[in-house]
Amino acid sequence: MKCMNLRFGVLTLLVVTSSYSIGTSASVKENLFATESFQADDKECTGIVVDEAGVPLIGASVRVAGTQRGAIADIDGKFSIADVPIGTVLNISYVGYETAEVKFEGKSLRVVLHENNMLEEVVVIGYGVSQKRTKVTNSISKVSDEALTVGAHANPAQALAGAVAGVKVHVTSGSPAATPSITIRGGSNYDGGSNEPLVIVDGVIRNSLSDINPNDIESMNVLKDAGATALYGARAGNGVILITTKKGKQGSAHIDFNLKVGMNYYDNGYTMCSDEDYLYYYRLALQNAEHTLPGGAYASQYNNMLYATNQPGGIGRTELDNSQSYNILRKTDANAYLLQQGWKEMLDPVSDNYILYKNTDPLKMNGRNPYITQDYNISISGGNDRGSYYAGLGYYDADGLIKGTFYKRYSFALTGSYKITKWLESNSVFNFTRANWLNDDPMLNTTYFLNRGLGYKFVRYETEDGTPLFGTSNPTINVNANSGNFDRDYQSDKFSMSQSLTATILPGLTLKGTMSWFYNEEYDEAFNHAYYNSNVGVLNPNGSAGVDRTYSTSASFLRYFDETYNVVANFNRVFAEKHTVNAMLGSELYKRRYRDFSASGYGAPTGDFADLGLTQNDADVQSRSIDSSHAKEALLSYFARVEYDYMDKYLVAATFRRDGYSRLVNNKWGNFPGVSAGWVFSEEDFWKNLGLEWLNYGKLRGSFGLNATINSNYLGYYTLQGAYSAYMYNSVYGYRISTLPNPNLKWERTRTGEVGLDLGFLQNRFNLGLTYYNRLTMDKYSSLSLPQTSGFSSVVANNGSYRNQGLEIDFGATLLRTRDFLWTLNANITYNKNTIVKLPDNGLTNNRQGGTEVYTGNGTDTHYVGGYQEGQTPGSFVGYGVVKMVRSQAEVDALGDYIDVGGSYGVGVYATEAGRQRLLAMGYTNNVQLMPGDFVYEDRNGDNMVEARDRKILGNLTPKWTGGFDTTLKWKGLQLYARFDMGFGFQVYDSNIAFWLGEGQGAMAFSEEVRDTWTPDNPDAKYPRVVWASQYGTDSYIRTNSFFTQSGNYLACRELQLSYTLPTDICRKFHCQGLTVSVTGQNLGYIKSCTIPLPDNVTYTSGNTAGNGGTYNVPRTLLFGLNVSF
């Protein structure tokens, strides 16, 4: 023996050989490689592995076909293998690239690997089994690596926007701790139930994608049709997201360091008006309210507000006083000196007075713009033919817009595999994540502030010498005044661990046993020291007024522990070189134990300690409250899957799963089958004889299956057994049932059928996928109202059916490929329609539940819209049609006896005296006359009276078409990547502008649209006259109407990245294998026709009204990145 060199790597619990090179005698070689022989013409095989741009692929695997002999490409992409016979075939592979087969002819090789296209990629189909897309007969989409890694994401769900056909990501807030919702193919619920898919990470079930570090993800696959999801049975009705985290690969230790640091720039999406415009139109709004409210009944009130001493638009005060709330004064000679101290003046539009005012920027005072995001990750991986390891650390830190708000995530991942023997392999996965956050200041609601307080710029936040003042009330307060007065600690810890052993029983037959644990713990604690609630307290902190000294405290603790145990046998065999059979048989047990505890109290004697034990709890005051709950559940499953492939041409698969669920009393067990088939017609001789070389691949596929949903929004832990509450009767405490149980609940079952067509053009340079799906969810859960005589208001029951049907189109293309240049494009678009199919019989038309009665437009005929009824598409909202805006008194007079009683506050609106008399005859006494600058609403039944039944459907908030696309351009080491998503065929409602211009009560906001409101000098304005609290008058703004209904069509730029990878020779100078620098823009903006900032963030309520939700918009982000490999 000449020499033997060994290097070892240690993986926490396992010790594995990380790499080796052995020079030995023939006898030793014979023992090590008993199946190999060496001939006299064997030679050393050398070469280099590069990509299309000529960049070395460090770590590429080069293997002698049919053996374990091989090498790993070094820092220059070079490799060498000793004693390789001439004519030997080598397999060269690299993650993300097509595997190449090259014959060794005795000369040095240059191997160019091409990136995987859509048809060559491998997808995960379930329980750790992967399959080439060409053999997949179901709808399974793989999320691109770029979507997961380009940006900095607190939640991986953010990377799904526009990335997968049929998947809609709904981001409701720009808060760094916000959790986006995910809906696949329209979801299975229309009435508030969850549409969230089942999330499985390395075989461990997770409630959501929250707190998962995207940098640890190796692949993310989305299972959409029942043929694929039936393998997961009772929990897969809304689809399945399978996540595989990174694993080690063969080769010497590889270290990756990645950092992204950037700035977030908040923009509320509107241009707010100037200081002077605000005061001008606010004063006009007060004057208009005084002149138009019923009979001038409130004239004195609004006159008082015009000249109030401490109101947002009042100018009754002339002296500067720190106790006042607003920096607004009526100018006098005595206070004119303030013009030299940053104050400004303007002429009052409703009097001959001048107004003094001083701007105090609310966002600058309470927020930070821009604010910082940081994302750091480091990992080490390696392995050899006996085992591999991967360890990763991550730290993510994102500030929120409001001072003091934040989200932090600490993550650790560790995976290892080891071949214990030739037939037994061990795989271990461990993940830990800790998250800390604060979403809101305890006294300043962020959404409320951005919706209202951001636009009012005259709150007195500090004295003239810079001392912080409290302000007024939420949302016009100063968070700095109470800095340090609130203690908040919100934290979650998530542990997951999975251990499996895989035994090779026979060639092609394996048996795998896996046990997985997931532990989630959340802890929230809050304590209030003495804090200010008015300027009086700030100015006199030792006084009794304006200071809250209740010293309230609260704490809550939640913990659940999930256990999953399964045994899966896999069989894979090729018979007669034509018949491929894959089979799976398994059983699984899932258990969850849940508990929570909460307590609160107040009245501690001091603010120095945050202990609940110090709160007052005596004979006089019992401030403490305590609550807790415990629950457990279990799911037992048996499943099987069989796949048959004949000559890569005819593909058939069948799946069956049987689940038993502890929380269903009389219907515990459910059976969930799925079948699918595919025909690769491009492999048929008749097709090849057609001479259609440009269409090189074609597959027709179809599937049908049944699975179910456990709808936790309705199926609570006490739904089936009933909940109990304390009750005192005849001076004796006891317990009574407070929630009626329903032991006869059944599964929410989902039945899906689909057909698809996959095509490859020009040697798969272009790929096209078409899929039509039809999904029916049956036995849906819902709360049904009960008669009062039952003693209960409602009961959860199976309640009807819901259908989703649509078309998905996927497209992938390599648009241009040369030695130095590569341009790729991936796109998808989905059409989806949701329909309520069946509801319980109740004797009403279409078995309607709720809804609004409106005229049909055919005389006095009426029908119901909204609510829930058979044949309806959910998401519609109703309102009044706007006929026109009257612009002169002559137009008002021409309306005759027109009246409007459709407002919300019992106010009658009339145009002429004839109309007023109609109102009086109908019993309306609070009446107001229509004025120039007001809306005239549509009268749908022709009686010249507007009422609630004159409303109509204005639009639907659910896009008919959704999709997205991404494109990559590479030139040598330079790369440009862009990702977009889009939605078409829906309507949105701008409730913000309507609210700002029409209600205006308190310290409100005005956008620049206020400059285009009707006045006698601007009769052709776009918007009605601005009125303070218009809902109490003619109400041209607050009631939902067609004027503020807009098309929601949009195209959003989610990410744009420019990166540069340094050449290898330069990297050597930095003592590294690779170095990439990048600059990335996230959420850069929308192309849209509507005025709302986020057309993809709209809300719908059961009252059939619409709005554009919160105004905490997702910020624009500029990131600078660095990735270094060693």
The string of pLDDT tens digits covering residues 257-266 is 999 999 999 9
Query: Which segment of 637-641, 757-761, 839-843, 1021-1025 scores lowest on mean pLDDT?
Result: 839-843
Structural tokens at position 169: 């990501």
Q: Provide the 3-class DSSP secondary structure of residue 803.
A: strand
**10 and 101 share one domain:** yes
Report the Cα 388 to chain-centroid distance in Å.
34
Which residue, among 744, 577, 544, has the nearest Cα to 647 in the 3D structure? 577
Q: Is the predicted pLDDT of residue 33 greater than 60, yes or no?
A: no
Angle (CA) 215 220 221, round 5°: 180
Whether the CB-CB separation of 935 and 911 falls below 8 Å is answered with no
What is the rounded distance in angstroms from the CA atom of residue 94 to the CA atom of residue 58?
A: 9
What is the rounded distance in angstroms from the CA atom of residue 281 to the CA atom of residue 289?
A: 12
Please list, in sequence order, all residues whose beta carbon lies within 8 angstroms of the beta carbon of residue 257, skipping any fewer than 6 positions away.
Answer: 377, 378, 1122, 1123, 1124, 1125, 1126
Q: Is residue 581 part of a domain?
A: no
pLDDT, tens only, 709-756: 876 655 655 555 555 566 666 777 777 777 777 888 888 899 999 999
Split at pLDDT 50, 70, 90, the class of 1 is very low
Whether the CB-CB separation of 1056 and 1081 falls below 8 Å is answered with yes
Among the candidates 112, 147, 168, a domain finishes at 112
What pLDDT sits at residue 333?
95
* Helix H or strand E segment including 891: helix 889-893
Structural tokens at position 628: 């807790």
The partner residues of 318 in beta bridges, in order of sequence, read none
Q: Is the predicted pLDDT of residue 796 greater than 70, yes or no?
A: yes
* Helix H or strand E segment including 300: helix 299-306
Q: Is the predicted pLDDT of residue 498 greater than 90, yes or no?
A: yes
What is the rounded distance in angstroms from the CA atom of residue 298 to the CA atom of residue 309?
A: 18
**157 and 54 share one domain:** no
Per-residue burial over 1089-1103, b = 16 or more CB atoms within 10 Å of its CB, e = otherwise: ebbbbbbbbbbbeee
Q: Is residue 198 part of a domain?
A: yes
pTM reported for the whole predicted model: 0.85
What pLDDT sits at residue 590?
95
Q: Is residue 288 part of a domain?
A: yes
Q: Enter the DSSP assignment of 469.
A: -
Q: Is residue 309 part of a domain?
A: yes
Whether the CB-CB separation of 345 and 339 falls below 8 Å is answered with yes
Which residue, among 467, 593, 437, 463, has the nearest Cα to 520 in the 3D structure? 593
**202 and 55 share one domain:** no
**1007 and 1070 share one domain:** no
The more confident residue out of 683 and 13 is 683
Q: Which CATH number belongs to the domain containing residue 178 in this structure?
A: 2.170.130.10
Query: Which segment of 37-46, 77-86, 517-526, 851-860 scores lowest on mean pLDDT?
Result: 37-46
Strands (E), 1017-1073: 1045-1047, 1050-1061
Q: What residue type is 321 in one-letter code?
A: D
**80 and 36 share one domain:** yes
Q: What residue type is 583 in one-letter code?
A: A
Angle (CA) 364 369 375, round 5°: 145
Which residue, among 816, 552, 709, has the nearest Cα to 232 in the 3D structure? 709
Query: Which residue is it, tokens 């929990």?
Result: 235
Structural tokens at position 425: 């392999």
Q: Is the predicted pLDDT of residue 785 greater than 70, yes or no?
A: yes
Query: Which residue is it, tokens 């090590």?
Result: 32
What pLDDT sits at residue 11?
32
Three-state secondary structure string covering 23-69: ECCHHHHHHHCCCCCCCCCCEEEEEEEECCCCCECCCCEEEECCCCC
**130 and 107 share one domain:** no
Across 65-74, 438-447, 781-790, the highest mean pLDDT is recorded for 438-447
**99 and 134 share one domain:** no
Q: What residue type is 927 in one-letter code?
A: N
Query: Which residue is it, tokens 């990439």?
Result: 1076
Whether the CB-CB separation of 454 and 448 falls below 8 Å is answered with no
Q: Enter the DSSP assignment of 602.
A: -
Query: Which residue is it, tokens 């639907």?
Result: 956
**99 and 127 share one domain:** no
Which residue, among 530, 676, 519, 532, has the nearest Cα to 131 in the 3D structure? 676
**Torsion angles phi and psi, residue 569, rounded to 5:** -105, 130
Report the Cα 792 to chain-centroid distance in Å.
36
pLDDT, tens only, 391-443: 999 999 999 999 999 999 999 999 999 999 999 999 999 999 999 999 888 88
DSSP 399-414: E-SBTT-EEEEEEEEE
**981 and 1007 share one domain:** no
What pLDDT sits at residue 38?
39
**70 and 158 share one domain:** no
Report CA-CA distances (Å) from 248 to 11, 387, 392, 414, 649.
Answer: 11, 8, 11, 10, 34
The runs of H, that is alpha helices, within 123-237 are 145-149, 226-229
Rounded to the nearest 5 percent, the helix, strand and coil shares of the chain are 15, 50, 40
What is the rounded distance in angstroms from the CA atom of residue 751 to the CA atom of residue 746?
A: 15
The partner residues of 597 in beta bridges, in order of sequence, read 557, 628
The more confident residue out of 448 and 217 is 217
What is the rounded distance in angstroms from the CA atom of residue 12 to the CA atom of residue 432?
A: 15
**1058 and 1030 share one domain:** no
Q: Is residue 446 part of a domain?
A: no
Strand 198-201 and strand 240-245: pairing? parallel
Please list, in sequence order, all residues whose beta carbon lies within 8 angstroms of the beta carbon of residue 808, skipping any fewer than 6 positions away.
Answer: 139, 165, 166, 769, 770, 771, 773, 828, 829, 830
Q: Cis link prior to 370 (omega < 30° from 0)?
A: yes
Q: Provide the 3-class DSSP secondary structure of residue 368.
A: coil
Strand 945-946 and strand 899-900: pairing? parallel
Which residue, among 6, 263, 530, 25, has the nearest Cα to 1115 in the 3D structure? 263
Q: Enter the DSSP assignment of 1024.
A: P
Q: Is residue 1018 part of a domain?
A: yes
**239 and 139 share one domain:** yes
Q: Is residue 78 part of a domain?
A: yes
The more confident residue out of 314 and 724 is 314
Whether the CB-CB separation of 393 and 432 falls below 8 Å is answered with no
Among the candidates 65, 83, 112, a domain finishes at 112
Q: Is residue 82 part of a domain?
A: yes
Among the candidates 112, 135, 153, a domain finishes at 112
Split at pLDDT 50, 70, 90, the class of 40 is very low
Burial class (CB in 10 A: 0-12, 13-18, 19+), 1044: buried
Task: Count other C-beta atoms under 10 Å from residue 379's C-beta.
Answer: 20
Q: Which CATH number belongs to the domain containing residue 23 in this structure?
A: 2.60.40.1120
Q: Is the predicted pLDDT of residue 54 greater than 50, yes or no?
A: yes
The partner residues of 821 in beta bridges, in order of sequence, read 971
Which residue, among 747, 604, 724, has the nearest Cα to 665 in the 3D structure? 747
Q: Provide the 3-class DSSP secondary structure of residue 776.
A: strand
Query: Which segment of 166-175, 290-299, 615-624 scores lowest on mean pLDDT?
Result: 290-299
Split at pLDDT 50, 70, 90, the class of 37 is very low
Query: Which residue is it, tokens 């009268």?
Result: 939
Query: Which residue is it, tokens 């810079």?
Result: 466
Query: Which residue is it, tokens 């060269």?
Result: 92
Query: Which residue is it, tokens 């989905």?
Result: 830
Total tally of structural domains belonging to the chain: 4
The partner residues of 1055 in beta bridges, in order of sequence, read 979, 1082
What is the rounded distance in angstroms from the CA atom of residue 689 to the CA atom of residue 684?
A: 9
Q: Cis link prior to 1024 (omega < 30° from 0)?
A: no
Q: Is the predicted pLDDT of residue 91 greater than 90, yes or no?
A: no
Range of the domain at 1078: 261-268+959-989+1047-1125
Whether the CB-CB separation of 571 and 508 falls below 8 Å is answered with yes
